[in-house]
Amino acid sequence: MKVLVPVDTDIEGSAAVVDAILERAWPGDTTFYLLDVIRGDHGVPLEVRVRALSEMMRILEIKLPQSAVFMEVMKEGPFDCVTARADELQADIVLDGRDVSSCLS
């Protein structure tokens, strides 16, 4: 199973996103793709975004050792990056970490 998880590393929701993922049961072959899309001129430096994604990835790899975890930072383009990336990955689920309340429902 492929799960795309768009996140905003410029907000304090990273821990909640990880918790939302860990609260669910996932098949052993699940692959998680953490995606941060830079929108506009946000003041969060790239290295801060990468550090936040790396920490999320590290926790998921420890807690879900049977799963693969990847991360990516993309600059917003002329189309919806999340939808395009989900199509490219042939994601089974998009678990929207940008709105943690949607993860918990």
The total number of structural domains in the chain stands at: 1
Whole-structure pTM value:
0.82
CATH number of the domain enclosing 43? 3.40.50.620
Domain with 8 in it? 2-104
Look-up: residue for tokens 């993860």? 103
Q: Note the pLDDT tens digit of each residue in 2-34.
A: 999 988 776 666 778 888 899 999 998 999 999
Nearest 5°: CA angle at 12, between 7 and 24? 55
Residue 13, pLDDT score = 66
Q: What three-state secondary structure class fits 12?
A: coil
Rounded-to-integer distance, Cα 43 and Cα 41, Å: 6
For residue 14, which of 45, 58, 47, 75 has the smallest C-alpha distance? Answer: 58
**pLDDT 10s digits, 27-81:** 989 999 999 888 766 667 888 888 889 999 999 999 999 999 999 988 776 457 7
pLDDT over threshold 60, residue 101: no
